[in-house]
Amino acid sequence: MTTARSVIGLVVSVALCLGTGLIGSLFTARSVGDWYVSLSKPAWTPPSWVFGPVWSALYVVMGIAAWLVWRQAGSSARTVALVVFALQLALNAAWSAIFFGLRMPGWAFGEIVVLWAAILCAVIAFWRVNPVAAWLLLPYLAWVSFASVLNFAIWRMNG
CATH (domain of 106) = 1.20.1260.100
Q: Which pairs with CB-CB distance under 8 Å and at least 24 residues apart come from 35-41?
A: 35/100, 35/103, 36/100, 39/105, 39/154, 39/157, 39/158, 40/154, 40/157, 40/158, 41/150, 41/153, 41/154, 41/157
Domains held by the chain: number: 1
Predicted confidence at residue 65, as pLDDT, reads 98
Predicted confidence at residue 48, as pLDDT, reads 86
pLDDT over threshold 70, residue 94:
yes
pLDDT over threshold 90, residue 37:
no
pLDDT over threshold 80, residue 52:
yes
pLDDT over threshold 70, residue 87:
yes
| % of the chain residues with pLDDT over 90 | 82
Domain of residue 145 covers: 3-157
Predicted confidence at residue 113, as pLDDT, reads 98
Distance CA 107, CA 2 (A): 45
Predicted confidence at residue 24, as pLDDT, reads 87
Q: For 104-151, write each residue's pLDDT tens digit.
A: 999 999 999 999 999 999 999 999 999 999 999 999 999 999 999 999
Q: For 20-34, write each residue's pLDDT tens digit.
A: 999 988 887 766 668
| % of the chain residues with pLDDT over 70 | 97
Distance CA 143, CA 149 (A): 10
Predicted confidence at residue 31, as pLDDT, reads 64
Predicted confidence at residue 77, as pLDDT, reads 94
